[in-house]
Amino acid sequence: MINLFQPRTPGDPQHIAAVKRWAADAFQLTEETTVMVTELRCTEPGCPPLETVIALLHPQAGTRQHKVQKALCDITRDDVLALTATQERRTHHEPNR
């Protein structure tokens, strides 16, 4: 059984900083946007054991969250770039309001 409250080792600070930079570059973020990177455990059926959430918090535009079905230490620049392609597909397929 997984203890969800078990202390975890914090990720590699240099890799976390790199993931944040990749997200800022990929999404062309301004300095007003805060990037948070969090690794989460999932115990639900069909869910990967670890996933990483990249949250983009902007004071006026709100918050956007992107999930990568990998542990934080395994995320690459290409994984982050793939998130922008997913976002573009969603944006282009949304109905006009």
> What CATH number has the domain spanning 13-91?
3.30.160
Domains in the chain: boundaries: 13-91
pTM of the full predicted structure? 0.78
Q: How confident is the model at residue 4 (pLDDT cuts 50, 70, 90)?
A: low
Q: What is the pLDDT of residue 26?
A: 96
CA distances from 6 to 1, 9, 36, 39, 83 (A): 11, 10, 21, 14, 30
Query: Residues 19-78: pLDDT tens digits?
Result: 999 999 999 999 999 999 999 988 888 888 899 999 999 999 899 999 999 999 999 999
